[in-house]
Structure 1
């Protein structure tokens, strides 16, 4: 009788070629020595995870002349106890990065080119330069670290750039821009008041929704409207007094079923700014979240104390929801530090406000020893890897 370790290489290769996810390949390689030796382990670097990955900052200890290591990035997987993947990612070297649907949107001085980069397949799509944001872009290199962090959000209407409804939407400073691959310039989206906190594309409603200061929510048809600039119209304003909220210091927005939006209010404490401007920030941390549901059909607000069997991921990425189970804890909010000023202002940098918030009891725990991972140089961000197309036949 043939044992598992005696299977011929052609059968093992057939099995390995049909594995779609990183975790399955890890398990495949762990069966026995013969299985590991028979497989092309390079394939594993190009497989998405079933679960989100956390992309870390560039290694601050990298020597200037170590170009190879300086153009690689570390990714922490929620699976397998938070194992580290290291991928070559020269497109993100010394670039500002935000993410959506598993893609990175990158830009950097001095030309402010932008491009979409898939860190798993190494594919890229060039986008228009950011010259449209004349009042936001400065070319003083001494100020680059500050103004570079003005690109705070990126949202893709689909994970597939080849679809006709695909749009790239960004928040740069106080400007919202949008484009499609092949466009020569960014279009503008106007019509809101105050700072923009977050935005989401509701797949069922086929509309863009934006949450701004004071919990004001706006919408527009970004997929079909051909006018430029596009104009947002106000849908609702969060009734703060009704729910005992003195303010809406920071909020996130995500599609919540067919007819609803979920707005997540983040409560921080200890965040300070001295009187001499943006130079120094005191210690700060997240102490809780409150979640509110807005019905697009009836226009009513309600507070929810449970996310059910799902988890929400927030940070320098478009907000997204993942079904709980496996290594993703249901009824939790996975958050990273998305206050960009402290990365410039604090001597030790920003990035320490990272963790997992349990909606059931309000406890916050670290993300696989996150305090030791060193996020201080640049913001970590989540990659929604399960939405990345599976790359087969990689050699």
Structure 2
């Protein structure tokens, strides 16, 4: 263990101080300030005292990592067990050998686990690329992407929510023959340990969010937001679409839970420069009916969006980051940051030519 010499403030005497003897409560505070979980791992490896002062069950808050897209079909995926992440907070690229990723396509956005889809059997499982933990799910008859993978604030533990077309037969075989006819759009959720997925029809087909036991989904054709209660599996209520500020410009809708609120974003893709309209779900219009209200800022929140869904974090918990902005992926290869305050977009440095999804790392 290296020792650091410090000069006494009054008599100039040089003293040797052993950093391993720092109080554990001070070491714990140090560990909570580390912006990159890789630094947290190194911190725990210094000595036994540092190790026990930084339990893996109480790590520092982490911003999501960006997962690099892996080229190739099933055969090439089977030969590649290397996955790479870009950590926005530290600017580091983390290369991880993860055998469980070898035969799979990985999807998010997600907390702790990515949703892996086996390249040949198409069976789905949860994969933590840092711990290599795998949790295989029952067969799910939905061909779609995950809307939410993370803590279940109502039941405890984790929950996986996905939506898409109901699978009718083998999607890949039927598509190759030009005979694939998608079934109705449905939502399915599963909690690890459950015997099967729970299916709910009537979900939207584009932007989706999950919060406090309720599933919010946007119908792309009507713009109506359907809100489904997970416990009853029934439609709780519907919300009319907001009025577009510029109906002549085309774009797409995104949805995310942010700071305990449900936000609906509309990103214009035909404008010369990127622009977002932002709405918050509001329940006090005088008649008790929920409605979308346009807002000009989101406070200190930072949104990390991917396609129609995303994640949200408070900038005050991360040194060097400012709130009221949206990080998003443009054309699958550009990492951009949209400043809601002044309406400008900045292309950020990213070491990958193509990216896949956001992933919040965890050691448990």
TM-score (norm 2): 0.71
**Cα offset, 1:301, TM superposition:** 2.8
Question: Secondary structure of 1:91's match?
Answer: helix
* Contact 2:264–2:278 (CA under 8 A) maintained in structure 1: yes
**Out of 86, 90, 94, which is 2:99 matched to?**
90
**Cα offset, 1:216, TM superposition:** 1.4
Partner of 1:140: none
Q: Distance in 2 between matches of 1:101 and 1:113?
A: 20
Q: Distance in 2 between matches of 1:37 and 1:237?
A: 54
How many pairs were matched up? Answer: 318
Q: Distance in 2 between matches of 1:262 and 1:154?
A: 15
* Contact 2:126–2:135 (CA under 8 A) maintained in structure 1: yes
Asked if residue 73 in structure 1 is aligned to residue 83 in structure 2, the reply is yes
Question: Secondary structure of 1:79's match?
Answer: coil
**Cα offset, 1:98, TM superposition:** 1.8
Partner of 1:55: 67
Q: Distance in 1 between matches of 2:84 and 2:208?
A: 27
Asked if residue 356 in structure 1 is aligned to residue 337 in structure 2, the reply is yes
Asked if residue 330 in structure 1 is aligned to residue 311 in structure 2, the reply is no
TM-score (norm 1): 0.66
- CA gap of 1:65–1:127, structure 2 versus 1, over 3 A, is closer
Alignment of 1:114-125 (within 5 A): 114-125=124-135
**Cα offset, 1:7, TM superposition:** 4.4
Structure with more of its chain in strand, by fraction:
2
Q: Distance in 2 between matches of 1:10 and 1:42?
A: 10
* Contact 2:207–2:254 (CA under 8 A) maintained in structure 1: yes
**Cα offset, 1:108, TM superposition:** 2.5
Query: Which structure has the bigger radius of gyration?
Result: 2
Q: Distance in 2 between matches of 1:152 and 1:292?
A: 24
Partner of 2:267: 266
- Unaligned regions of 5+ residues in structure 1, if any? 137-150, 271-284, 338-349
**Cα offset, 1:356, TM superposition:** 0.7
- Unaligned regions of 5+ residues in structure 2, if any? 7-14, 166-184
**Cα offset, 1:165, TM superposition:** 6.8
**Cα offset, 1:20, TM superposition:** 4.6
**Cα offset, 1:6, TM superposition:** 5.2
Structure with more of its chain in helix, by fraction:
1
Q: Which structure is richer in relative contact order (CA contacts within 8 A, separation 6 or more)?
A: 1
CA RMSD of aligned residues (A): 4.1
**Out of 238, 241, 252, which is 1:238 matched to?**
241
Q: Distance in 2 between matches of 1:302 and 1:317?
A: 19
Partner of 1:198: 207
Q: Distance in 2 between matches of 1:101 and 1:26?
A: 17
**Cα offset, 1:315, TM superposition:** 0.5
Q: Distance in 1 between matches of 2:78 and 2:105?
A: 17
**Cα offset, 1:25, TM superposition:** 7.6
